[in-house]
Amino acid sequence: MKAHMITYGCQMNEYDSHLVQSQLVSFGADLVDSIDEADFVLVNTCAVRGKPVDKVRSLLGQLRKVKSQRPLVVGMMGCLAQLEEGQQMARKFEVDVLLGPGSLLDIGTALESNGRFWGLQFKDELHEHIPPSPQGKLQAHLTIMRGCDHHCTYCIVPTTRGPQVSRSPDDILRELDLQLAAGVQEVTLLGQNVNAYGVDGGARLAGYPSFADLLRMVGRSGVKRIKFTTSHPMNFTEDVAAAMAETPAVCDFVHLPVQSGSSRVLRRMAREYSRETYLGHIAAIKKHLPNVVLATDIIVGFPGETEEDFQETLSLYDEVGYDSAYMFIYSPRPGTPSYKHFEDLPRELKTERLQRLIVKQKEWSKLRNATKVGTVQEVLLRGDAHSEGFLEGHTRGNHPTVVPKAFGAEGAGVYPVLIGHSTPHMLYGQIVDADGQPLPEIPRLEAQAAALISPLQMA
């Protein structure tokens, strides 16, 4: 079997895709890079917002056309596959294999049931459900829990992924050891609500550490950099900030979704905290991590949001001073309380507010990024940038960074970088030696340099 996977959505979906790909390889399948080469195409879906759902709908329509021209088995997995909306889509577009987020290890059974074996040798378990580590990569994701026990009125996750289930610390550390043996230097701990780890259904699990203690445990493993996502403000204790400060491997980067700066809107969202409570968490984080890089999620145009409510979101952005933000227009999702009970705002109003928030975000990102100019940052360079002769990566604070290739630093690795220029969305610098002196750059064509410099001049 020649299999091709297409993934939409969050880092958790990327991790799930890696898990399923590992199983397919263990069965004897070959992974290929395009639909044209494949006889099995598996689409990992996201249902949190309407846009990724529309992308899946369009893709399934294209795959149905391919199926009419040659033999092809099409599968759909992930959050959308769990919903009636996705199941109706699957019937309409003649999807052959359907897997919900809780059934990822059933891919072999699903293919057997479909009647297409391709000579595969199916197994019940794969490394005790631990996927093989990514080879040749410096970064890896590590799932520590699945599902969510909160019930925000706009969110479909509790329906698609179910209640929170924390993974055992032994399994987490065993997978981490495999990743480190494969050369991973930066690991991102994943979960719908990582800082609630070990407290499933409101009760502390016997023998499970708190999330703060898990950070300390992972920090003692020898991994060079630790990040985590996503956190819920209701579960972000000061002990987590203290653990970050005490554990050198943990990056000074916190992604703490606020969703709205208005306490009234937060109540309608059932977020379980107020503006004041959230700002208290930010103050505790800054107390322990004075140089913290802060990111957030914001939903614009939630049903019932007034101009006054939106102004409170803008003022909260100024009060916190975020480095970056993921900003979304409210997307009504069938099956959520807000879809059932609240009236959506006009699209034009939501779009106009989003544009104002984007302006605010760019102002702060430009200001915060400018403070990095003239400093030396530890940058994990993943490999070639879009412009030939350059490498791209990110700092410990998650700032995207581009540098020219230098002698002794031609490829992926973790390097000190002197930042020479910044824009709202990018840092630019040079790799330096232990004394802070720039390494000699590898010569490149003027056209290559111009392709990178021209957007700087525009910025």
**Which tens digit of pLDDT belongs to each residue from 155-171?**
988 887 789 999 999 99
For residue 281, pLDDT over 60 is answered with yes
For residue 123, pLDDT over 50 is answered with no
What is the pLDDT at residue 266? 98
CA 265 to chain centre: 25
Rounded mean pLDDT of 247-258?
97
Cα-Cα-Cα-Cα dihedral sign, residues 307, 308, 313, 314? positive
* Residue located via tokens 């979101």: 313
Mean pLDDT of the chain: 89
Q: Which residue has the higher pLDDT, 283 or 110?
A: 283
Rounded mean pLDDT of 343-371?
97
**Which tens digit of pLDDT belongs to each residue from 202-242?**
999 999 999 999 999 999 999 999 999 999 999 999 999 99
What is the pLDDT at residue 414? 95
* Cα distance between residue 99 and residue 11, in whole Å: 18
DSSP-derived pairing of the beta strands 225-229 and 186-190: parallel
Give the pLDDT band (50/70/90) at residue 121: very low
- Cis-peptide into 230, omega within 30 deg: yes
Q: To the nearest whole percent, how much of the chain has pLDDT over 70? A: 91
Residues marked as binding for [4Fe-4S] cluster?
A: 10, 46, 79, 148, 152, 155
Residues marked as binding?
A: 10, 46, 79, 148, 152, 155
Give the pLDDT band (50/70/90) at residue 122: very low
Nearest to 375 by CA among 408, 423, 312, 420: 420
SS3 per-residue string spanning 156-205: CHHHHHCCCEECCHHHHHHHHHHHHHCCCCEEEEECCCHHHCCEECCEEC
Give the pLDDT band (50/70/90) at residue 251: very high
* Cα distance between residue 422 and residue 424, in whole Å: 7
What is the pLDDT at residue 28? 75
What is the pLDDT at residue 370? 97
Rounded mean pLDDT of 271-299?
97
What is the pLDDT at residue 132? 60
The packing angle between helices 107-114 and 11-27, to 10°, is 60
The packing angle between helices 275-288 and 238-246, to 10°, is 20
For residue 118, pLDDT over 80 is answered with no
For the chain, domains (ranges, CATH) are: 2-127 (3.40.50.2300), 133-370 (3.80.30.20), 376-458 (2.40.50)
Nearest to 369 by CA among 436, 437, 295, 308: 295
**Which tens digit of pLDDT belongs to each residue from 321-332?**
999 999 999 989
* Residue located via tokens 């540098």: 403
* Residue located via tokens 């104002």: 356
Q: Which residues, other chains included, contact 453 with Cβ-Cβ below 8 Å and sequence gap of 6+?
A: none
Ranges of H-type helices in 207-306: 211-219, 238-246, 263-269, 275-288
Which residues, listed in sequence order, are joined to residue 225 by a DSSP beta bridge? 186
For residue 318, pLDDT over 50 is answered with yes
Give the pLDDT band (50/70/90) at residue 183: very high
* Cα distance between residue 34 and residue 42, in whole Å: 11
* Residue located via tokens 């609500």: 193
